Amino acid sequence: MLDDWITHTPRDILAKNFGVDPSVFDTVPSKFPYILNGTVSEEATDTPQGTLTGNSSYVYRTYSHPSEPVPGTGGVLRKIDSRNFPISKTIAAAVVELEPRGLRELHWHPNAEEWLYFHRGKARATVFIGDSKARTFDFRAGDTGVFPEDSGHYIENTSDTEKLIWVEIYKSDRVADISLAQWLALTPADVVAQTLKVDIEVVKRIKKEKQTFVAGK
């Protein structure tokens, strides 16, 4: 918007405002380019009253943020929320990587709906909202989706060779989820077995620690 603003301001006003000759602005693009070629600036700018500190300044570089240790194998999770980025009181996010044929386990989010942007790969997800209402979606790079709050779902990498990468956004101060398997494992095994009509020994083998990722086979 900067160049668009400049080109729609009289040159004499610009010259007066910046203390330069009007001809300085002859080469400003007439249309906002959105994306342009350039170089990365390493120059630090001195400020007359000092730099921003504390609650006045928040800079967060996701690429340097370490992944969070999570149970299970086959994926990587990076959370950005109020726990590691204090200014984030109303929005939270996660960057997720899932290995080929890997699974983001069955779970739901108790505090917000989930907005997704798929950056790389191919995925499949079934979303369940109760009352026998469910739908399965196929996603590829560039797709977006929204899963309602408290809706049960999973995300599977359907590629045999390519990693799946997506971004999750929540209108909340934190990223939170509840594992279906862990919930069942921490419920009396006989109750689960009777409800699902499965052998109780199968229920007893469910891991009590949630498996955020399940590696593909």
209 labelled binding-site residue: no
- Alpha-carbon distance of 117 to 143, in angstroms, equals 6
- Alpha-carbon distance of 47 to 57, in angstroms, equals 14
- From the centroid of its chain, how far is CA 150? 18
- Alpha-carbon distance of 205 to 202, in angstroms, equals 5
107 labelled binding-site residue: yes
Q: Please give the structure tokens belonging to residue 70.
A: 């999570």
109 labelled binding-site residue: yes
- Alpha-carbon distance of 157 to 215, in angstroms, equals 10
Phi, psi of 92 (to 5 degrees): -140, 155
97 DSSP assignment:
E
β-pair type (114-120, 164-170)? antiparallel
65 labelled binding-site residue: no
Mark whether 168 is an active-site residue.
yes
**Residue carrying the six token digits 């928040």:** 58
User: Which residue out of 97, 105, 156, 168 is catalytically annotated?
Assistant: 168
- Alpha-carbon distance of 161 to 17, in angstroms, equals 57
Query: For the chain, what is the radius of gyration of the CA atoms?
Result: 25
- Alpha-carbon distance of 35 to 37, in angstroms, equals 7
Beta bridge partners of 120: 165
Q: Which residues are catalytic?
A: 168
- Residues flagged as binding site for Mn(2+): 107, 109, 114, 153
- Residues flagged as binding site: 107, 109, 114, 153
